[in-house]
Chain A
């Protein structure tokens, strides 16, 4: 086992940048679950908002992925 570790720093950078998106998605869904738990009848209203929030937040992580590949 004398192999050397080799690779691109891009992916480490991407791993770091994904933390932001992960926290964001966690917050979005925490708020969503809270809202639904308090007011189950609001689920229909909250669901699109939560998933739009998810899409927007995750966009950052996905853009990070793109740049990790492109740069």
Chain B
């Protein structure tokens, strides 16, 4: 063991004692690197990020706006559809009510008319019946008496005769009536 060699080696190479020049070179090198990074690298990367974020977020915002617009339009259409449906319902309802109204009116009118016509015809019939009754009452007596006298004047056993009598009576009646009508 050579004591001196050990000591010399230990002193020369104690790894914890720094070399001033290494420190200086490191500081210098790091300063240069730091300068370049601060000045160029970080701004460029950050700018790229900002642009990318902008691009992506801008695209997203645009898509969102389009989406909103589309949904607004859809809402509007739906609203319009609902409006139109209510409108149609309303109109249909109105038409139905109107139709019912008209029908009822017509029915009432028709009923009134028929009632009126019936009334009138009954009155007419009654009047004619009255006239007929009056005229019959005036004539039936004389006719009955005349017929009876003729029937009694002839023989009742002879059918042919009696039929003749009746026919004659009727002919006479007709002629007298005709004469009366002419008169």
Contacts and interface: CB of A to CB of B under 8 A. Distances in A.
- Majority DSSP secondary structure for residues of A touching B: helix
Interface residues of A, number: 4
6 contacts: A6-B1, A66-B16, A69-B14, A69-B15, A69-B16, A70-B16
Interface string B1-16: 1000000000000111
- Majority DSSP secondary structure for residues of B touching A: loop
Interface of B: 1, 14-16
A70 B16 CA distance: 8
Nearest to B16: A69
A69 B15 CA distance: 8
Nearest to A65: B16
Contacts of B15: 69
A25 B61 CA distance: 49
Contacts of A6: 1
Interface string A44-66: 00000000000000000000001
Contacts of B14: 69
Of B14, B15, B16, the most chain A CB neighbours within 10 A belong to B16
A54 to B, nearest CB: 22
Contacts of B1: 6
When A and B form their complex, which 6 residue pairs have the shortest distance between CB atoms, in order from nearest? A69-B16, A69-B14, A66-B16, A69-B15, A6-B1, A70-B16
